[in-house]
Amino acid sequence: MEWHQMISFNIPPYLGTEFKYVKDAIEVKRKISGDGSYTKLCHCWLENNFSAQKALLTTSGTSALEMAAILSEIRPGDEVILPSYTFSTTATAFVLVGAKLVFVDIRPDTMNIDETIIEKAITRSTKAIVAVHYAGVSCEMDTILDIANRHNLIVVEDAAQGVMASYKEKALGTIGDFGCYSFHETKNYSMGEGGAILIKDPKNNDRAEIIREKGTNRQRFLRGQVDKYTWEEYGSSYLPSDINAAYLWGQLERAEEINSNRLQAWNTYYEKLSRLREKKLIELPIVPEYCKHNAHMFYIKCKNLAERSRLITYLKDRQISSAFHYIPLHSSPAGKRYGRFFGDDIYTTSESNRLLRLPMYFGIKEADILEVVSAIYSFYNISN
């Protein structure tokens, strides 16, 4: 085999326009702290494009989740239902406010929380449900909202991977009470480190602004609604620098282009790997008809953990990086301390052991995708 450069697993999105906006923020706007003109452009863009009542940039997806946990008014001892197959901070945000975590199993088709188990996991202490849209493929939100309405629970969407994806025409992040986006460099749109919180009910807007701005009502002061600003309640510093927002702006204004480029790469993987699925050697992602995904990730499922480990090594030997994903939180030291698993772990551990993510990023070359595909065919001893 010919030597080629390593095919990266991820390369952060960069269009080339970002630098111009960053320079403008620094040299022309002379505003590099939070809530400058680029932050405002990003807020408007998110609100307009996703029909969101309110969007606020944050310093990370994690800080958006923390804001959601604080806004949910969860008290120590309250329970939060979430999947175990997720990133650590889906959980830590709620641990911060003293919640007990109740993990439930996932569906094997989408790797999302199994909505049919949620209701059985509800107790008198349950306060919220966290829906994590894995790989930008939506959870079954109608069922989740129906359960939440009947039991008076808050719904937080961890849509860190779901920017530009939708459920029945509604943008992910705008369906629950709070939606949390990540603009980390591994996500579809990036500002290095950053995120956003989307808020459904306008009654939460003031508190969200206060919590985001060190517990002060500075935003109301800047709008002339109060004549001095003061410490109102608990808060932290969740607003990002306008330098980062300027970088993000370069990507949001061309979000369609990024999205269609990623979808094209995703579809190429899907088509080219279909024969291996037909031969039942691997499984491919399943996207239910009710959702439009955003090609955040392309994964395959191997037969088992041992086969996946062999495939990772096989690809690495051929200069291709691939990656498994979450170690289920309920089996982690902190997960055991802060939570419990409700019901049986039928799919969480077994499906996560089989899942392997392939190189996927904005601008990935078709030739590289074909290289990855052909390496997988040769691993399974099938000609492609």
- How near is the Cβ of 84 to ligand PLP at its closest, in Å? 12
- Name the residue nearer to ligand PLP (CB basis): 59 or 217: 59
Task: Pick the closer one to ligand PLP by CB: 249 or 326.
Answer: 326
Nearer to ligand PLP, 17 or 92 (CB): 92
Q: Does 176 bind ligand PLP (CB under 6 A)?
A: no
CB of 184 to ligand PLP, least distance (A): 4
Q: Is 43 helix (H, G, I), strand (E, B) or coil?
A: helix
Is 160 a residue that touches ligand PLP (CB under 6 A)?
A: yes
Would you count residue 171 as binding ligand PLP (CB under 6 A)? Answer: no
Binding to ligand PLP by residue 132, rule CB under 6 A?
Answer: yes
Count of residues near ligand PLP by CB under 6 A: 14
Between the alpha carbon of residue 71 and those of residues 75, 156, 208, the distances in Å are 11, 10, 7
Of 36, 12, 88, 15, whose CA–CA distance to 240 is shortest? 36
Structure tokens at 312: 């990772």
Choose, by CB under 6 A, the member of 39, 161, 348, 349 that binds ligand PLP. Answer: 161
Name which of 144, 179, 139 is nearest 159 in CA terms. 179
Nearest residue (CB) to ligand PLP, 326 versus 379: 326
The residue with its CB nearest to ligand PLP is 61
In terms of CB distance, is 268 or 332 closer to ligand PLP? 332
The distance of closest approach from Cβ of residue 226 to ligand PLP in the complex, given in angstroms and rounded to an integer, is: 32
Q: How far is CA 241 from the centre of its chain?
A: 21
Alpha helices in 56-192 (DSSP H): 61-71, 88-96, 115-118, 141-151
Residue 353 touching ligand PLP (CB under 6 A) = no
Picking from 137, 119, 306, the residue whose alpha carbon sits closest to that of residue 129 is 119
Does residue 322 interact with ligand PLP by CB under 6 A?
A: no
The residue among 218 and 328 lying less far from ligand PLP, judged by its C-beta, is: 328
187 or 200: CB nearest ligand PLP: 187
Evaluate whether 272 touches 384 at the Cβ level (below 8 Å).
yes
Dihedral sign for Cα 313, 318, 320, 321, please. positive
CA pair distance 74, 67, nearest whole angstrom? 11
Contact stretch for ligand PLP (CB under 6 A) within 157-165, 221-229, 232-240, 274-282: 157-165
Q: Is 15 helix (H, G, I), strand (E, B) or coil?
A: coil
Q: Do the strands 126-132 and 79-83 form a parallel or antiparallel pair, or are they unpaired?
A: parallel
Determine the Cα–Cα distance for residues 172 and 198; give it in Å rounded to an integer. Answer: 10
Q: Partners of 341 in the beta sheet?
A: 103
Contact at 8 Å (CB) between 362 and 250? no
Interface of this chain with ligand PLP, residues 43 to 82, rule: CB under 6 A: 60-62
Q: Is 293 in the site for ligand PLP (CB under 6 A)?
A: no
Residues 6+ apart with CB under 8 A from 349: 328, 331
- When asked if residue 294 is in the footprint of ligand PLP (CB under 6 A), the reply is no
8 A C-beta contact, residue 174 and residue 50: yes
Binding mask 80-119 for ligand PLP (x = CB under 6 A): ------xx-xx-----------------------------
Q: Which residue number, 216 or 251, has a Cβ lying nearer to ligand PLP?
A: 251
Which residue ranges make up the site for ligand PLP (CB under 6 A)?
Answer: 60-62, 86-87, 89-90, 132, 158, 160-161, 182, 184, 195
